A and B are shown apart, each in its own frame.
Chain A
Amino acid sequence: MYVLAFRLAAKNLLHRPFSRLLVVVSMGCILLINALVFLLFQTFSKSLVEVQDSRYITVYLDGAVESQREPEVVSAVKKVSGVSSAHLISKDAFLENFSRYFPQLSSELATLEADTIPRFIKVKVAAHREQSAQKDLQKIKGVELVESNKEKFSGLIGALATLRKFALVLIAGMSLALLCILLNHFKLRTEFQTQIRNTLSALGARGGQVLLPFAMEGFLEGLLGGGLAALILIAYGKVFESQLNSFFESIGYHPYHFELGGVALALLVIGMLSGMMGSVWATFRAKSN
């Protein structure tokens, strides 16, 4: 049955070739756009995690705190609810870091009095506990000032979260458009397809046997559409990705690397499944009517 069903499906595909080509190309384009939006979504998600990781609270130590009391203050900070980590940045460590990032200013900094160089604890806090933790940290003996860089990142976090949602909505919208195109396309059955369905039914074929050639037809059409999208994506990966990445790196942006092979395979599978389901649904509906 499979060989004959495949033959029928292949013959079906050759009917109305222009319309088929149009559907395959539309399908390929929509799947490709979806894949690109998905990659953007991944980029936004990774950036969001990175940005959220960059949020911390700086706890400045009082100048009167002696260096041997510093670990005591750090352990008090760690005990505050919501605190996940606390690292003391000593004067020496601060100087070392400073001279690493701003080597041209390191000699000027060395001339400053040792007391003007801050000692602080870099504290990571769970986002939902940030406000209460800030208040609790302020109460610890030996703490002079508590500062959060929350405001600095809140705009960026909000924007990334919105972009992620927008990407998801776009993917859903494009998927819906693809579904509409496929269902409408498969609904327009040719005389040949009606002939196959009626003949199989008259011969007593089971429901599955009647649907099989149409499922294969949708599968093949989806394979072509998904294959087209996958091919373009792989071609992009081979030809343009390294050039684009080197361009981004030259302007100081380090793009994330994605495994395009996996995305291309997903495109192929999604194409085949959506084509098959669209065709089966349309045949099932036509059979019931």
Chain B
Amino acid sequence: MITLAGVTKHYSTLHRGSAVFENVNLKIGRGEFIYVVGDSGAGKTTLLKMLYGEEKPNQGKVEVLGQDLLKADAGRVQALRRRMGVIFQDLRLIEDLSAYDNVALSLQTAETPLLTQEKGSKRISLNSYSWKRAIDEALAMVGAGAFSKKKIKALSGGERQRVAAARAIVRQPELLIADEPTGSLDREHTWNLMDLFQKLHLRGATVVIATHDREIVRRVRRRSCVLKSGKLVIEDGLCMF
């Protein structure tokens, strides 16, 4: 599902000492649930950005959902993103649209097999009723149903984060990437969201979560990797370095 082989990333060719990673190797299988843990500035976000094609490594190979991202053109990267659900660290919500519209936008640009439970593996297109139902359900699942009609600019940090989560899960993606998804949430909403990720994982999705919250990692025990000084360190599982 995901392969990082000999990945090196630095932002300046003149200062190679400022490398974010040095020769990172990582394999994530289909249907895995994995944490990428590390302190602030450890490079978690950069690693995740490589998975959805926003950053390219200076060296090495990044393969996601069977696509070599170094060789992929912009169109292929976009096609890959349509199969994923991403919770961005900076959320990337459209401020002047409502929570509902932001989630709808995600559904409209998606290319994921929705409603597969009822129809097996056959892909069906949503009619307007099931479309609305899917969005309402996603918002309700993250506890954002009450403010679905409110504009993003009128929401608090925690509320925005929940909308961003709804936007990622509404697609029922094959791969869910979440960058600090609980950073602005209170404990109750944090555990609700973690439950949701687990449900998604049980349905077959691969889940990659970057977090600095070690309590989450301890409580919801899964395979985890730690980024430290530009190296990926095994903590609890199969990471290589």
Contact = CB atoms under 8 A, between A and B. Distances in A.
Interface in B88-111: 88, 92-97, 101, 104-106, 108-111
B223 interface: no
A202 B97 contact: no
A53 B88 CA distance: 74
Given A7-B101, A204-B80, A204-B82, A209 B109 contact: yes
Nearest to A201: B78
B86 interface: yes
A203 B81 contact: yes
Interface stretch (A153-161, A178-186, A190-198): A190-198
A57 B50 CA distance: 84
A7 B81 contact: no
B92 to A, nearest CB: 5
Interface residues of A, number: 19
A202 B54 contact: yes
B81 A202 contact: yes
A207 B106 CA distance: 15
B105 A203 contact: yes
A112 interface: no
A10 to B, nearest CB: 10
B84 interface: yes
A202 B93 CA distance: 10
Given A200-B105, A202-B88, A202-B92, A7 B78 contact: no
Interface in A186-229: 192, 195-196, 198-207, 209
Interface in A46-86: none
B82 to A, nearest CB: 4
Contacts of B88: 202
Given A195-B94, A199-B92, A4 B105 contact: yes
Contact of B78 (A8, A11, A196, A206): A206
Contacts of A206: 78, 109
A1 interface: yes
Interface string A1-41: 10010011001000000000000000000000000000000
A4 B54 contact: no
Contacts, number: 60
B79 interface: yes
Nearest to B102: A199
Nearest to B167: A203
A164 to B, nearest CB: 48
Interface string A90-108: 0000000000000000000
B86 A11 contact: no
A202 B108 contact: no
A230 B97 CA distance: 33
Given A4-B105, A7-B101, A209-B109, A202 B86 contact: yes
Contacts of A200: 105, 109
B94 A1 contact: no
Given A200-B109, A203-B106, A204-B84, A8 B94 contact: yes
Nearest to A195: B94
Contacts of A204: 78-84, 109-111
Given A4-B104, A7-B101, A205 B109 contact: yes
Contacts of B108: 1, 4, 209
Interface string B44-68: 0000000010100000000000000
A218 B75 CA distance: 25
Contacts of B110: 203-204
A8 B109 CA distance: 15
A220 to B, nearest CB: 16
Contacts of A196: 94
A4 B81 contact: no
Nearest to A204: B81
A91 to B, nearest CB: 85
A199 B93 contact: yes
Given A4-B104, A199-B105, 13 more contacts: A1-B108, A4-B108, A11-B96, A192-B95, A195-B95, A198-B92, A203-B105, A204-B79, A204-B81, A204-B83, A204-B84, A204-B111, A205-B82
Q: Which 9 A-B pairs have the closest CB atoms?
A: A204-B81, A204-B82, A205-B109, A203-B109, A1-B108, A199-B92, A11-B96, A204-B78, A202-B92
17 contacts: A4-B105, A7-B97, A199-B92, A199-B93, A199-B105, A200-B105, A200-B109, A202-B86, A202-B88, A203-B82, A203-B86, A203-B109, A203-B110, A204-B78, A204-B84, A206-B109, A207-B78
